[in-house]
Structure 1
């Protein structure tokens, strides 16, 4: 059964703002399904995975558009780079907006084609996997997550029988929401396809087994400060290679890097960032937490809960087409940390993430670190935890369940 996607309305809005809309995102997040469900009545559809269509486009990209009328969805467009210049030529002949939707799963190749041919003509959206909000809330709601006072009566409830830890363990890729899909076999195929297609296309890798070990090392460190040397030592490669391979994981949407907030912009660039996987099911597969109970009761439960919450926050921004650079974390020289700092203009909202259900004032003791930030105000804060209902920790901080994201 198709689950309506929150990003649908954002794509529709972008079609009215630019001549071309580009929808990127990792494999298997549902880009093609979403576009077919939402836009099949008004748009034609072709995919560069089709050998016949691929040969048409590569043989003569101009003639390709004479045989495929606009408006048109072109799937996996990065496979035929010459199409970008032809798209530019065809959309420049008309002032009409929203005539072409492009999709692809390799951000690096897509952005290269966009920057060379479609600058100023394209609106870009990155589609994540299913969000928790899409299970329990109205997907037409495109609110990016900013901490605010939450009333239990207005908050969506978990579906009957919903097990949060099973959801975290199983992952958020749409196909896995079918209960008959075998979890470990699915991810084994997913990783193999990723290594054989995306990784080979992005870098000339000679040792896929070592890249796999690199993915495992990164998965084990999801939610931690990114340390290229430590990862390199674990898999016997140099730090430069780790950074290059990490950029591959970023370009294909597997991980996100969250930067530290600092009022001096130049100093932000010198501080360590954090690495988060966008799908907790993939993390569990790579690190071999193979059952829900192992994960729920295991040593990494807190780390995995944090990875899940941060990915859900980032999904809310991606689905709304909002700026991901408004999501930070805080860590100072005295190692005072705040899990997330949500920037809303000149207001900073502190967020702590705890896997427990009950938290007290100790959980938010570092929030006061933001008081000294020049030119910023400190806004309402959250502690995202496993409480079933929201409650106040301090007058300006609420403990809230993940449903409040």
Structure 2
């Protein structure tokens, strides 16, 4: 259970396997997908194959020969994106098993690259699998009292559970190095590790800022197309979030550039060499880091199918996070690292323009209080609790 921290996804995945032939679990490396899959497999008759192991890949070189023998069992395939040719065989397997009466709980596929894996599987497995994303630990998993630790270290299990802040930082530095030197090249991508590290670090310095591709390109000495390719890669690996601007108001002059966040606060701090809370609080990134932490937790708590964006007009109206829930209602969220439950006039103007259903201020206090203009100020834990209740 990942250091005795129960993952929220465990019951969700078990329910999905009880209703679907297959489930695809996406998430960056080292986020805990394998551990979670093993927890699920322990309660079922299951077999586990890791596509990073040569022996396991050889087993599936002729997949039907092996998988036909496993009918009735849950087959867990880890790092499935390393064998793209497997998806067609899995489609046939699922269809044959359905005809044989085995309609649910047949395959659990784990992958570390979202768009690549989705493109491969969407064509072959459409209507046969459901997709889920495993994030690093969230606040509702570790508890409100652990918020400072979660913020500083991030939510990757080995980083969060490390024996000291120094050990945690060392793990994250090794994680970054391994991604750059081994994992990314394993996808067949030829990007110099040092260039990509500089790009990733530049994003950390600009955490939560509007994407300025020209500035990034000039700083790296590369083309704008290269910057777009680097960003696409880190988004695809679920390490960076590209938060789109709200675009439904055609008559308004709105910002068109996305905001960019490194999704795990601990990785942001490792890229900037911030080991302690004192170092973080004294660094210019502190506001962007706090905002990124809150946004990731709020999106993780929102119901499946929620769309996230931000709002900023040329006139100064602004909302840090807009959540469009599956029922089409809008939640407007302001995020401030302050104990004062006040929002800007621009937040109210934007909320009125969009006719939002909920106005929330996530702030650095432990009290849930009504604010001005229908805004409710609350700590992050309370905001994520409210969103979870909607789902």
Please, what TM-score do these two structures have when normalized by structure 2? Answer: 0.89
Deviations 1:278-308 (A, max 9, x none): 1000000112222211112332221111011
**Which of 154, 158, 163 is equivalent to 1:180?**
163
What aligned pairs does 1:111-122 form with structure 2 within 5 A after superposition?
111-122=118-129
Corresponding residue for residue 264 of structure 2: 279
Q: Which runs of 4+ in 1 moved over 6 A?
A: 265-270
Answer yes or no: is 1:393 the counterpart of 2:384. Answer: no
Corresponding residue for residue 217 of structure 1: 202
- Which deviates more from structure 2 when the two are superposed, residues 123-132 or residues 270-279? 270-279
Answer yes or no: is 1:342 the counterpart of 2:323. Answer: yes
Corresponding residue for residue 113 of structure 2: 106
Give how far 1:208 is off: 1.4
Partner SS for 2:210 = coil
What aligned pairs does 1:73-222 form with structure 2 within 5 A after superposition?
73-95=76-98, 96-136=103-143, 158-159=144-145, 162=146, 164-180=147-163, 182-202=167-187, 204-222=189-207
When residues 323 and 197 of structure 1 are mapped into structure 2, their CA distance, relative to the original with a 3 A threshold, is farther
When residues 52 and 269 of structure 1 are mapped into structure 2, their CA distance, relative to the original with a 3 A threshold, is farther
Whether the 8 Å CA contact 2:158–2:171 is kept in 1: the answer is no
When residues 13 and 312 of structure 1 are mapped into structure 2, their CA distance, relative to the original with a 3 A threshold, is same
Give how far 1:106 is off: 1.6
Give how far 1:262 is off: 2.9
When residues 51 and 84 of structure 1 are mapped into structure 2, their CA distance, relative to the original with a 3 A threshold, is same
5+ long unaligned stretches in structure 1: 137-157
Whether the 8 Å CA contact 2:351–2:359 is kept in 1: the answer is no
Corresponding residue for residue 387 of structure 2: none
Question: 1 CA distance for matches of 2:88 and 2:258?
Answer: 36
Partner SS for 2:60 = helix
What aligned pairs does 1:237-248 form with structure 2 within 5 A after superposition?
237-248=222-233
Task: Say what the alpha-carbon RMSD is for the aligned residues.
Answer: 2.2
Whether the 8 Å CA contact 2:151–2:265 is kept in 1: the answer is yes
Give how far 1:266 is off: 11
Whether the 8 Å CA contact 2:334–2:347 is kept in 1: the answer is no
When residues 267 and 9 of structure 1 are mapped into structure 2, their CA distance, relative to the original with a 3 A threshold, is farther
Please, what TM-score do these two structures have when normalized by structure 1? Answer: 0.86
5+ long unaligned stretches in structure 2: 385-391
Answer yes or no: is 1:380 the counterpart of 2:358. Answer: yes
Question: 2 CA distance for matches of 1:180 and 1:346?
Answer: 44
When residues 293 and 270 of structure 1 are mapped into structure 2, their CA distance, relative to the original with a 3 A threshold, is closer
Give how far 1:132 is off: 0.4
Partner SS for 2:52 = coil
When residues 350 and 269 of structure 1 are mapped into structure 2, their CA distance, relative to the original with a 3 A threshold, is closer
Give how far 1:364 is off: 5.3
